[in-house]
Structure 1
Amino acid sequence: MVTGGSRGIGAAICTLAAAHGHDVVVNYAHDAEAAEQIAEQVRQRGRQARTVRGDVSNESDVKHLFDAAEDLGPLTALVNNAGISGNRPARLDEQDVETVRRVLDVNVTGVFLCCREAVLRMSTRYGGTGGAIVNVSSSAAGRGSPGEWVHYAASKAAVDTLTYGLAQEVAREGIRVNGVSHGLVDSDFHATAGVPDRAQQLGPGVPLGRAGRPQEIAEAVVWMLSPAASFTVGAILQVNGGR
């Protein structure tokens, strides 16, 4: 299951996971057509796919999402990719409380709700056979994103802490929990935030000299889900071009 799987990094994760043998549930919030296009790409790679609409910050939506996923069989992997910045870049004292609450609801509460449902299904404590969870974070968590999205950075720092703590709780129950923390990526995340050229403007300042591509983040996520990462627990893998 990939939350926020209809676009950007999430879409790249869905199609690459299919290429590595996973059936995929593509979660989306609004754009059903885009989600179905990604599902069709999964099917073209010989795997099953289902699209499920749902707001990850809504408990009933999340329960429906996980129940619907059972059509494809037992859940073996969850990627918490859904995330928002809330608005255009601005200082913290220019933010309104409703925007900040919405960002925390999606980016933090959403990860909590999805992790909880996944554990209830995958943990050997509850009769499951194990699995893997990857939480998609951001290098903003370490930089703080001053003058842009301090609230977003704080939400991703919370995701990193949740990732490490949950990993300790469920490692002996057959579930590996890890994170992938990406840097500047050339995706429609920036257009949604009202700054479509942000990746092009800031890319030259990355030590590698460019913004990342969604596929590059997807490679790290799918590796974390694979048996090749079987001894990797509670790690936050930095995929950020050096920044």
Structure 2
Amino acid sequence: MTQTDAPARPVTIITGASRGIGAAIAERLAIDGHDLVITYRARRHEADAVARRCEASGSRVLLLQVDLADLDAAATVVPSSIAEFGRVTGLVNNAGVTGRIGGFLDAPIDESERLFRVNVLAPIVLTRAAIAHMAVDRGGAGGSIVNISSGAAHSGAPDTYIPYAMSKAALNALTTGASKEFGPVGVRVNTVSPGTTRTEIHAEAGRPNAPDERAPRIPMRRPGEPHEIAGAVAYLFSADASYTTGAEIRVAGGN
């Protein structure tokens, strides 16, 4: 096989991939042969470090600094990715914020508004743009989208972060609806729902020790690790998942 005959590498966008679960997904997909578009909001040095690790695995990497609460900025991600690589075959809607841990009556509405912009409206913007590019009835070659949800979408997260749980339930509905509407045109849409996972998101929510505090209530008696979430995402992008769409994989230690 000549170089020009070699199959094109998949090109996957991962939002919020400078650390935590997003970084683990990027590094795993790099190993699996993807070229990557990594978005980050503020921590460029961490995004650079993730990009270097992915490049060491053979990936080409485009870094995009985007605040996904700005929907006009979110709308530039897919076009910028296509301009760089010529195509996009995958999207991981990973970026998300929780808001402060606490009771529902104390959740500031402006915080919840930003949360919904990042967790729900930006994925709508990105998913629509990706599907418009991928759909075979629009001249695309098909593709795969994975939404990173949360077990909170099922529990409702009382006394913790109900607005966050609401936003993740909305993301699950996006998977269900889009998988049915766009399955006929070659686009698979699935969900991975982590349980409590050891990342910095808990510190940002005001409870850095939350993973270990919750461990006794998890059937496996421990929090998850980012690479364990990344493995489920990698499966959904693999040939083994070619008949899988509209699915939710819960990686939650039994919860």
Q: Hey, what's the Cα distance between the residues in 2 that align with 1:111 and 1:232?
A: 20
Q: In structure 1, what is the equivalent of residue 98 of structure 2?
A: 85
Deviation digits for residues 171-205 of structure 1 (CA, Å, limit 9, x no counterpart) = 01111000001100011111121211111111222
Contact 1:6 1:31 in 2 (8 A): yes
* Partner residue, 2:9: none
Say which of 131, 138, 153 aligns to 1:141: 153
Give the superposition deviation at 1:125: 2.1
Is the contact made by 2:175 and 2:191 (CA closer than 8 Å) also made in structure 1?
yes
Match of 1:126 among 113, 123, 138: 138
Equivalent residue, structure 2, for 1:226: 238
Once the two structures are TM-superposed, the CA of residue 228 in structure 1 deviates from its matched residue by 0.8
CA distance in 2 between partners of 1:203 and 1:197 (Å): 10
1:167 lines up with 2:172 in the alignment: no
- The SS at the match of 1:223 is helix
Query: What SS does the corresponding residue of 2:69 show, helix, strand or coil?
Result: coil
Question: Which portions of structure 1, spanning 4 or more consecutive aligned residues, are displaced by more than 4 angstroms?
Answer: none
What is the distance in 2 between the residues matched to 1:111 and 1:66? 11
CA distance in 2, matches of 1:109, 1:21: 30
Asked if residue 150 in structure 1 is aligned to residue 150 in structure 2, the reply is: no
More displaced stretch, 28-37 vs 210-219: 28-37
Give yes or no for the alignment of 1:99 onto 2:111.
Answer: yes
Q: Give the Å deviation of 1:114.
A: 0.9
Distance (Å, rounded) in 1 between the aligned partners of 2:126 and 2:67: 11
Task: Kindly state the Cα deviation for residue 102 of structure 1 after the two structures are TM-superposed.
Answer: 1.0
Deviation at residue 53 of structure 1 after TM alignment: 0.9
User: Structure 2: which 5+ residue stretches go unaligned?
Assistant: 1-12
TM-score by length of 1: 0.97
- CA-to-aligned-CA distance 1:4-23 (integer Å, 9 cap, x gap): 01110000000000000000
- Candidates 183, 190, 196, aligned match of 2:195: 183
| Residues in 2 aligned to 1:74 and 1:9: alpha-carbon distance in whole angstroms | 24
Deviates more, 1:76-85 or 1:116-125: 116-125
- Give CA deviations for 1:69-112 in whole Å, capped at 9, x if unaligned: 1212310010000010122x111111111011111111111111
What is the CA distance between 1:222 and its match in structure 2? 1.1
Equivalent-residue separation in structure 2 for 1:220 and 1:203 (angstroms): 21
1:164 deviates by 0.4
Instruction: Note if contact 1:133-1:176 (Cα within 8 Å) is conserved in structure 2.
Output: yes
In the TM superposition, residue 50 of structure 1 has moved relative to its aligned partner by 1.1
Aligned Cα root-mean-square deviation (Å): 1.0
The CA distance in 1 between the partners of 2:86 and 2:238, in whole Å, is 18
Question: Percent identity, aligned pairs only?
Answer: 37
TM score, norm. by length of structure 2: 0.93
- Once the two structures are superposed, residues 132-188 of structure 1 have per-residue CA deviations (whole angstroms, 9 ceiling, x without a partner) of 000000000110100010110011111101110000111011110000011000111
Residue in 2 that maps onto 1:74: 87
Point out where structure 1 has 5 or more consecutive residues left out of the alignment. none
Tell me the matched-pair count: 242
- Aligned partner of residue 138 in structure 1, secondary structure: coil
Q: Does 1:64 align with 2:60?
A: no
